[in-house]
């Protein structure tokens, strides 16, 4: 992108950049806040973004970390985190996707939620201990068993090959069968064929 100029939009000094396709980008402090196919489209998008950043609101909430009341006032202008004050403290930045309770949640529900959260932590710790003691990765166990079986099979085969093989014993002469007599072939003309009547 090439910087082609600057412009003041809603009291904020911006830079105008253009890429090789002719798209305009409005940049503030190195961060793009608007773009468009024409300069006026890009300025319109940037103006909306600046107005959104300048608008201050008061969204009440209750934290899930300690059950404290807080008020969100808007977004941080550069990193878009949520600006908030918790329990009347100083303004701080909360994560982009910070989870909280609605301000009208009954106190009993908040208390019960923390009881469940604490119980789940205890149960998860117990679950991890059981997994650590008895859990296996089945694929790794099968691979180990195959490797051991192959190693034992190779060792047994090598032992058998290394062991001297006994010579086959010859049968005693008395138990040997005499060789079969060769068959005699019939002489030509000695075979008579009978006819059926």
The number of C-alpha atoms within 13 Å of 23 and in the hemisphere containing its C-beta is 9
The whole model's pTM is what?
A: 0.49
Q: Is residue 185 part of a domain?
A: no
Please indicate, yes or no, whether residues 82 and 38 belong to a single structural domain of this protein.
no
Ranges under pLDDT 70 in the chain: 77-78, 168-179, 185-197
pLDDT of residue 196: 66
Total of domains in the chain? 3
Identify whether 78 is part of a domain. Answer: yes
Q: In terms of domains, do 96 and 110 share one?
A: no
Return the pLDDT at 37: 92
Distances (CA, A) of 68 to 60, 85, 99, 109, 153: 11, 10, 13, 14, 66
Structural domain includes residue 138? yes
| pLDDT single digits (tens) 70-123 | 999 888 766 778 999 999 889 899 998 999 999 999 999 999 999 999 999 999
Determine, yes or no, domain membership for 174: no
Are residue 99 and residue 119 in the same domain, yes or no? no
44: containing domain: 2-54
Q: What pLDDT score was predicted for residue 81? A: 87
Is residue 111 domain-shared with residue 151, that is, in the same domain? yes
pLDDT of residue 106: 94
Task: List Cβ neighbours of 14 (8 Å cut-off, separation of 6 or more).
Answer: 6, 7, 8, 26, 27, 28, 33, 46
Q: Are residues 154 and 110 in the same domain?
A: yes
């Amino acid at each position: 992108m090439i910087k082609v100029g600057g412009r003041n939009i809603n009291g904020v000094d911006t830079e105008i950049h253009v890429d090789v396709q002719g798209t305009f980008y409005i940049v503030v402090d190195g961060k793009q806040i608007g773009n468009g196919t024409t300069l006026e489209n890009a300025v319109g998008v940037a103006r909306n973004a600046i107005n959104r950043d300048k608008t201050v609101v008061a969204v009440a909430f209750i934290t899930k970390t300690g059950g404290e009341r807080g008020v969100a006032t808007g977004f941080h202008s550069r990193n878009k985190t949520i600006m908030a004050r918790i329990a009347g403290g100083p303004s701080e930045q909360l994560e982009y996707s910070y989870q909280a309770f609605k301000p009208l949640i009954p106190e009993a529900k908040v208390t019960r939620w923390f009881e469940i959260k604490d119980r789940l932590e205890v149960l998860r710790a117990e679950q991890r201990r059981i997994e650590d003691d008895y859990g296996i990765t089945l694929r790794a166990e099968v691979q180990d068993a195959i490797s051991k079986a192959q190693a034992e099979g190779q060792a047994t085969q090598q032992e058998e090959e290394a062991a001297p093989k006994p010579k086959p014993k010859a049968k005693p002469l008395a138990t040997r069968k005499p060789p079969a007599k060769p068959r005699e072939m019939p002489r030509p003309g000695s075979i008579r064929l009978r006819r059926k009547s």
